Amino acid sequence: MKILVVGGGGREHALVWKIAQSPLVEKIYCAPGNPGIAELAECVHIGADELDELCAFAKAEAVDLTVVGPEVPLTMGIVDMFQEAGLDIFGPNKAAAQIEGSKGFSKDLMARHQIPTAAYKSFTDHAAAVNYIREQGAPIVVKADGLAAGKGVIVAMSEEQAIAAVDDIMLDKVFGAAGASVVIEEFMDGEEASFFAFTDGRNILPLASSQDHKRVNDNDEGPNTGGMGAYSPAPVVTEKLHDIIVDSIVRPTVAGMAADGCPYVGILYVGLMIRDGQPRVVEYNARFGDPEAQPLLMRMKSDIVPVLQACARGELQQDSIDWYDKAAVCVVMASGGYPGAFEKGLPIAGLERAAMLDDLVVFHAGTKLKEGQIVNNGGRVLGVTGLGNSVREAIDKAYEGVAAIDWQDVHYRKDIGARALNR
């Protein structure tokens, strides 16, 4: 098979790494890819949001299956376009991708199908939104309706902070059109986890549990980021909780989307808040998590390609995935300054040394090749991912890799996995 992976971050490197192990695959393309991916796939100079060019490429090269990493092409309708062209593609269509693309859509879906989540109300009127905040009091959470690159959620500890957020989103339009409507919801306390399931629109295939680290600094301090590290499995998700998540959230979500005439195909990402053994949905995403994909795919023993293909074709029969009985931990090495401004083009040392370590893979995210040297080119630069017989061993392995790598102003958290150890 010829496979095209769309995207060029750490998640796509992990997908390419896993797909490359499949005996079914003879050729992998990645658009646009990155220097790490280039070691395993042919990188094509097409951006992940250049849908016409991607579709023309897949047709010209007779690609058998396209796998979409990021949300933007999904919400733009890449799946609809490929399907019209008769091409197999893994991911939700434009209508179903609203589950991530519109907070109002996902909240209404959960309300309609009794899926546990925070109480909420949607507003297009600024004064009504402010009144509601005054009525409800703080803490309270304000969300821009549309995609805002992970920055559209404000967890407000005071009414003033919440109203300032509504002003920013609705009056000053800091997120542009994504802020035409806001969702205001109840603050949920608890421990977060990420839960993923493959689905063909009807059948589901849940993955192992995982946990992200969203804040930029140790002890979950500082601003939110795309994710500074992740591990799998997540001990907070016990076997019992796994079943509750599948039965009370994943199945009703997939069945609800189908019943609403909007079947969801691809990988469903459920962001959870867990308290007293009860999960509630924080948000859905229409794609694999980044960095959660890195530890999850390193632990996955089953071939991923038949699963991706079966989902794309609406024929998912498989009901379980084999996992290595190991823990995996991914430590993200980021550019100093991220998630704010940072310098690009700084040479990265030590990649060859890290590559010699066993049970360790350095997934590339924001890297670039400049005059024969790999340099940083984004906020999150590398996802150093280690495997071990225990979380402790996997943490030590990942940080052994981190210690081998260096560049000017590099930043990473020193406490990835600590919460799993504390349990």
Give CA angle at 373 (371, 378), nearest 5°: 105
User: Is residue 283 part of the contact set for ligand AMP (CB under 6 A)?
Assistant: yes
Shortest gap between Cβ of 68 and ligand GLY (angstroms)? 14
CA torsion 262→264→269→271, rounded to 10°? 20
DSSP letter string over 315-328? --------B-SSEE
Shortest gap between Cβ of 219 and ligand GLY (angstroms)? 18
Residue keyed to tokens 């990645």:
30
Shortest gap between Cβ of 270 and ligand AMP (angstroms)? 11
Partner in contact with 323, chosen from ligand GLY, ligand AMP, none, beta carbon below 5 to 8 Å by kind? none
Partner in contact with 174, chosen from ligand GLY, ligand AMP, none, beta carbon below 5 to 8 Å by kind? none
Question: For residues 327 and 296, is the Cβ–Cβ distance under 8 A?
Answer: no
User: Which one among 153, 246, 349, 357 touches ligand AMP, defined by CB under 6 A?
Assistant: 153
- Minimum CB distance to ligand GLY smaller for 2 or for 214: 214
Q: What CA–CA distance (Å, rounded) separates 354 from 352?
A: 5
User: Is residue 193 part of the contact set for ligand AMP (CB under 6 A)?
Assistant: no
Shortest gap between Cβ of 100 and ligand AMP (angstroms)? 9
Partner in contact with 100, chosen from ligand GLY, ligand AMP, none, beta carbon below 5 to 8 Å by kind? none
Partner in contact with 292, chosen from ligand AMP, ligand GLY, none, beta carbon below 5 to 8 Å by kind? ligand GLY
User: Which one among 16, 267, 282, 365 touches ligand AMP, defined by CB under 6 A?
Assistant: 282
Q: How far is CA 300 from the centre of its chain?
A: 17
Report the residue closest to ligand AMP, judged by CB: 283
Shortest gap between Cβ of 289 and ligand GLY (angstroms)? 4
Shortest gap between Cβ of 85 and ligand GLY (angstroms)? 28
Residue 288, both tokens: 């694999």
Query: Among candidates 385, 368, 407, 405, which has minimal Cα distance to 8?
Result: 368
Burial level of 415, CB count in 10 A (0-12/13-18/19+)? middle
Shortest gap between Cβ of 230 and ligand GLY (angstroms)? 7
The length of the chain in residues reads 423
Query: Among candidates 273, 288, 294, 286, which has minimal Cα distance to 228?
Result: 294
Binding part of the chain for ligand AMP, among 29-37, 187-195, 362-370, 411-419 by CB under 6 A, reads 187-195
User: Which one among 192, 200, 290, 292 touches ligand AMP, defined by CB under 6 A?
Assistant: 192
- Minimum CB distance to ligand AMP smaller for 118 or for 328: 118
- Minimum CB distance to ligand AMP smaller for 253 or for 367: 253
Residue 43, both tokens: 């990188």
Q: Which of residues 236-275 bind ligand AMP (CB under 6 A)?
A: 271
User: Which one among 44, 49, 136, 187 touches ligand AMP, defined by CB under 6 A?
Assistant: 187
Burial level of 220, CB count in 10 A (0-12/13-18/19+)? middle
Burial level of 160, CB count in 10 A (0-12/13-18/19+)? exposed
Residue 128 backbone phi and psi in degrees, to 5 = -65, -40
CA torsion 174→155→182→277, rounded to 10°? 140
Residue 49 backbone phi and psi in degrees, to 5 = -105, 10
Shortest gap between Cβ of 69 and ligand GLY (angstroms)? 10
Residue 308, both tokens: 């991706």
- Minimum CB distance to ligand GLY smaller for 75 or for 285: 285
DSSP letter at 198?
Answer: E
User: Is residue 155 part of the contact set for ligand AMP (CB under 6 A)?
Assistant: yes
Total chain residues near ligand AMP (CB under 6 A): 15
Binding part of the chain for ligand AMP, among 22-30, 70-78, 125-133, 150-158 by CB under 6 A, reads 150-158
Partner in contact with 66, chosen from ligand AMP, ligand GLY, none, beta carbon below 5 to 8 Å by kind? none
User: Is residue 188 part of the contact set for ligand AMP (CB under 6 A)?
Assistant: yes
DSSP letter string over 358-388? TTEEEEESSEEEETTEEEE-SSEEEEEEEEE
Site for ligand GLY, rule CB under 6 A:
212, 226-227, 285, 289-290, 292
User: Is residue 214 part of the contact set for ligand AMP (CB under 6 A)?
Assistant: yes
- Minimum CB distance to ligand GLY smaller for 147 or for 245: 147
Taking the CB of residue 403, how many other CB atoms lie within 10 A of it?
A: 12
Q: Which residues bind ligand AMP (CB under 6 A)?
A: 118, 141, 150, 153, 155, 185-188, 192, 214, 224, 271, 282-283
